[in-house]
């Protein structure tokens, strides 16, 4: 049978790293098995679902390149299907109408919690008499539909990641499958959708483990064959609690804005809970698909380490084709005030990507190319206070002046710089460091000859001249 998997986010917020990893696992498995990857929007929470969130999630998936083969399906567009099946259960006596109000249930819950028993619905409306039902209807109460959980016995299943599970039915209360407003609940809609969409493997976060027995009960009630389950452990924050906003950036879109690139996300995220049989950690998407398998998913939760993500991002900054990094970085350049000049910007990328870990950092580092203003910050200016500095700057002016209007390559600039060095008669570093500072206003950066090539000799001369007058006037 062909593998069919789904990613089923609820559009109540942005795609976060945990969701992205789940999507990735589903995607990788689908591609590996030459199966189908389905996107399903679980929008049955009418209060919190928004169209914006749905759009944002899809955009992020597209940015990552996790394109779905089918969908998006929306649960709110399938309401009649759920209703039909709820009615069927009702008719067969496997479900019943419940007239309890929220406050009544809340009361019940607190009472049970106080008594130290697992809070669950006590089945109050299971066997209502005809009169009671009529009374409630007359009161105008809108019933929800609850599934009748068999009182005893147990339910078991095999999880691909965690092995054998056994739940006692006595611990599961009758749960709502249809809200009083006619919208299905999660546990109900999932089962119906997974069945009709032919889902063969459910790969999801392990917070759903406790839901699985309820869903299995529904499969049983309908006489359907359940899919295989793979419950993946969660992603934690540095304090080992569930990763959330208070730990810093969790939204994929935030990482995009911060200058992370999809190749790095797609490589790093799966490694949080999956490892390859060899010691490899760097994978292209194709390699990852090839290497991926569910049986190497880890049981224990993983702490999200932005440091390693950043390292990996830097790796991809350097190893991806220049063209690609240029494309990714363009919006960052334009936003920072660089003007559109493809040939020149590509050179900037060529030079600066060697030194930086994110697109944002790269553009930030390249800022001195288009911005130059005195005074510099104090830790930078102290470099200019050295006694040899005027001599060095003058030597630079002398050597480079004849080339003021010439097109000179970086290797020729390097030769000229060496000439400056021998003219001054100090060690290379002693000469080039103050020059770098004078020309860029920064203590570090790429090779000076690249910088001079990028800003042009004329501009370099202007800057050095300006700094020279500046320090002389001090």
Partner RNA sequence: GCUCCCGUCGUCUAGGGGCCUAGGACACCGCCCUUUCAAGGCGGCGGCACGGGUUCAAAUCCCGUCGGGAGCGCCA
**Residue numbers annotated as active site:** 245
Q: Is 140 in the site for RNA (CB under 7 A)?
A: no
Considering CB under 7 A, how many residues would be counted as binding RNA? 96
**Cα 347 to Cα 354: distance, rounded to the nearest angstrom:** 12
Rounded to 5 degrees, what are φ and ψ at 333? Answer: -65, -50
- Nearest CA to 39 among 78, 10, 81? 10
Query: Which among 84-92, 220-228, 269-277, 343-351 is the span making contact with RNA, rule CB under 7 A?
Result: 269-277
Binding track, positions 61-90, relative to RNA; x by CB under 7 A: ------------------------------
Tell the burial category of 6 from Cβ atoms under 10 Å away from its Cβ (0-12, 13-18, 19+): buried
Of 32, 74, 162, 346, which one interacts with RNA (CB under 7 A)?
162
In the set 72, 259, 314, 441, which binds RNA (CB under 7 A)?
314
31 or 97, CB closer to RNA? 97
Label residue 37 exposed, middle or buried (CB < 10 Å: 0-12, 13-18, 19+).
buried
> 13, 71, 301, 331: which one contacts RNA (CB under 7 A)?
301
Selected binder of RNA within 152, 181, 343, 379 (CB under 7 A): 181
| Other CB atoms within 10 A of residue 5 CB | 27
Chain-centroid distance, C-alpha 363:
22
Residue 465 Cβ, how far from RNA at the closest point, in Å?
A: 20
Select from 131, 139, 152, 279 the one that contacts RNA (CB under 7 A): 279
What is the DSSP secondary-structure string of 429-441? HHHHHHHHHHHHS
Question: Any idea of the CA torsion for 117, 109, 231, 242, to the nearest 10 degrees?
Answer: -100
Binder to RNA among 36, 44, 200, 313 (CB under 7 A)? Answer: 44
What element of type H or E holds 326?
Answer: helix 322-335
Shortest distance in whole angstroms from residue 254 CB to RNA: 19
Residues numbered 421-450 forming contacts with RNA, rule: CB under 7 A: 428-430, 432-434, 436, 443-449
Nearer to RNA, 100 or 461 (CB): 100
d(CA 151, CA 169): 6
Q: 42, 75 in Cβ contact below 8 A?
A: yes
Nearest to 16 by CA among 276, 282, 251, 258: 251
Among 102, 130, 152, 407, binds RNA (CB under 7 A): 102
* Residue 18 is a binding residue for RNA (CB under 7 A): no
**Roughly how many angstroms between the first and final C-alpha of the chain, as a whole number?**
81
User: Which residue number, 26 or 185, has a Cβ lying nearer to RNA?
Assistant: 185
Binding of RNA by 210 (CB under 7 A): yes
Stretch that binds RNA, among 29-37, 80-88, 179-187, 340-348 (CB under 7 A): 179-187
Q: Does 302 bind RNA (CB under 7 A)?
A: yes
242 is an interface residue for RNA by CB under 7 A: yes
Q: Which of 122, 180, 284, 465 binds RNA (CB under 7 A)?
A: 180
**Binding region for RNA (CB under 7 A) out of 61-69, 81-89, 95-103, 321-329:** 95-103
Cα–Cα distances in angstroms (integers) from residue 335 to residues 142, 225, 289, 338, 341, in the given order: 54, 54, 35, 7, 14
State yes or no: residue 355 binds RNA (CB under 7 A).
Answer: yes
CB of 91 to RNA, least distance (A): 20
Please select the residue that binds RNA; options are 55, 88, 107, 117, rule is CB under 7 A.
117
21 binds RNA per the rule CB under 7 A: no
Q: Is 187 helix (H, G, I), strand (E, B) or coil?
A: helix
| Number of residues in the chain | 474
Part in contact with RNA (CB under 7 A); list of ranges 21-29, 168-176, 194-202, 373-381: 168-176
Cβ-contact 420, 396 below 8 angstroms:
yes
Q: Note whether 136 binds RNA by CB under 7 A.
A: no
């Amino acid at each position: 049978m062909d593998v069919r998997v789904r990613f089923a986010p609820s559009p109540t917020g942005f795609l976060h790293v945990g969701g992205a990893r789940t999507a990735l696992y589903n995607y990788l498995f689908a591609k590996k098995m030459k199966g189908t990857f389905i996107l399903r929007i679980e929008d049955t929470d009418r209060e919190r679902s928004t169209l914006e969130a749905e759009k944002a999630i899809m955009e992020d998936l597209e940015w990552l390149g996790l394109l779905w083969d089918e969908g998006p399906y929306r649960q709110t567009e399938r309401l009649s299907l759920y209703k039909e099946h709820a009615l069927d259960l009702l008719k067969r006596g496997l479900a019943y109408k419940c007239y309890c109000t929220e406050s009544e249930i809340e009361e019940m819950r607190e009472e049970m919690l106080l008594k130290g028993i697992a809070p669950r619905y006590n089945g109050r409306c299971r066997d209502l008499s005809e009169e009671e039902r009529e009374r409630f209807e007359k009161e105008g109460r809108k019933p929800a539909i609850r599934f009748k959980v068999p009182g005893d016995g147990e339910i078991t299943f095999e999880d691909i990641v965690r092995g054998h599970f056994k739940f006692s039915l006595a611990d599961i209360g009758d749960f709502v499958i249809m809200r009083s407003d006619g919208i299905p609940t999660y546990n109900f809609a999932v089962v119906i959708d997974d069945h009709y969409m032919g889902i063969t493997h459910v790969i999801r976060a392990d917070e759903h483990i406790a839901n699985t027995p309820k869903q299995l009960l529904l499969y049983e009630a309908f006489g359907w064959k359940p899919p295989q389950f793979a419950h993946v452990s969660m992603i934690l924050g540095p304090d080992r609690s569930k990763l959330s906003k208070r730990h810093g950036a969790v939204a994929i879109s935030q990482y995009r804005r911060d200058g992370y690139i999809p190749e790095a996300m797609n490589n790093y995220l799966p490694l949080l809970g999956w490892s390859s049989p060899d010691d490899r950690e760097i994978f292209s998407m194709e390699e990852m698909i090839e290497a991926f398998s569910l049986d190497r998913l880890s049981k224990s939760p993983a702490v999200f380490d932005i440091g390693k993500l950043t390292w990996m991002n830097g790796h991809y900054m350097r190893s991806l084709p220049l063209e690609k990094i240029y494309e990714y970085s363009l919006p960052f350049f334009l936003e920072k005030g660089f003007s559109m000049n493809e040939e020149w910007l590509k050179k900037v990328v060529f030079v600066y990507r060697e030194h930086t870990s994110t697109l944002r950092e790269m553009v930030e580092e390249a800022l001195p190319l288009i911005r130059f203003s005195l005074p510099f910050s104090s830790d930078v200016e102290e470099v200019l206070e050295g006694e040899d500095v005027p001599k060095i700057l003058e030597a630079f002016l002398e050597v480079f002046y004849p080339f003021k209007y010439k097109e000179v390559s970086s290797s020729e600039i390097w030769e000229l710089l060496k000439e400056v060095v021998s003219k001054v008669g100090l060690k290379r570093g002693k000469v080039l460091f103050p020059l770098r500072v004078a020309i860029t206003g920064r203590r570090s950066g790429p090779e000076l000859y690249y910088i001079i090539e990028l800003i042009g000799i004329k501009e370099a001369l202007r800057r050095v001249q300006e700094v020279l007058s500046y320090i002389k006037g001090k």
